[in-house]
Amino acid sequence: MKARILTSWIGDGSSVPNSHRPKIADDFIIKSWEDVTNQPVSNIYPSPNLYMIEIVCTDAIFAAIQASAEYGDGIISTVDDEDDIPDVAAFNKLRNHLKNKGTKITDLDDAVGKNPGGRKKKQVAEQLKNWLKNLPKGP
């Protein structure tokens, strides 16, 4: 399964074993991933500590991620549904996920929009990615 998903950064960047990296890759066995947000190094960790990566994993691992309280609602799209329009309930779960991860309520519209608005999941992902890329450095 290939999917775009939100994760936080971990690692202090001081060494290879402790490099800045996506937390989800420590929490689940993922075959491969790519940082599709490419936040500037000077802003890592951003506030909120959040960015988007593209993962490739087995169906079983993906099911576990979907069931995870930490990551499940932060799945933006998969290779199978990226051209679908998200339903309102799923979209609101994503907004709520962003809020729970530290996004200010006043920033949610900039991050993903007020509602799906007829956009495909990959278009929502693009807006969110661009918003995440410009997050300021956190405290």
Partner 1 sequence: MVLRRGLLGGATSARRSLLAGGGGAFRTGVYGTLRVTTLLQDTFTDTDGTALNVHTMTIGSGWTNLAGTTFQINTNQCLNTRGAFSDSTNDPGWITADAGNANVTVSVQSKITESGFWLGPAFRVQNATNGWFILISDPSSYSLYEVSAGTLIQRATASPTINVGTYYTVKAVLAGTSITGFLDGVQQLTFTSATLQTQTKMGLACTGNNGTHNKFWDNFLVTSP
- Residues near partner 1 (CB under 8 A) are 11, 13-22, 25, 30-35, 38, 41-42, 44
Give the nearer residue to partner 1 in terms of CB position, either 15 or 106. 15
Q: Name residue 111's amino acid.
A: A
Closest CA to 36 of 110, 138, 126: 126
Give the nearer residue to partner 1 in terms of CB position, either 35 or 84. 35
**Minimum distance from residue 31 beta carbon to partner 1 (Å):** 5
Give the nearer residue to partner 1 in terms of CB position, either 84 or 126. 126
Q: How far apart, in whole angstroms, are the C-alpha atoms of residue 93 and residue 72?
A: 10
Give the nearer residue to partner 1 in terms of CB position, either 3 or 94. 3
Mode of pairing for the β-strands spanning 51-56 and 2-7: antiparallel
**Minimum distance from residue 57 beta carbon to partner 1 (Å):** 10
Sign of CA dihedral 17, 21, 23, 28: negative
**Three-state DSSP class for residue 6:** strand
**Minimum distance from residue 130 beta carbon to partner 1 (Å):** 14
Q: How far apart, in whole angstroms, are the C-alpha atoms of residue 122 and residue 96?
A: 19
**Minimum distance from residue 23 beta carbon to partner 1 (Å):** 12
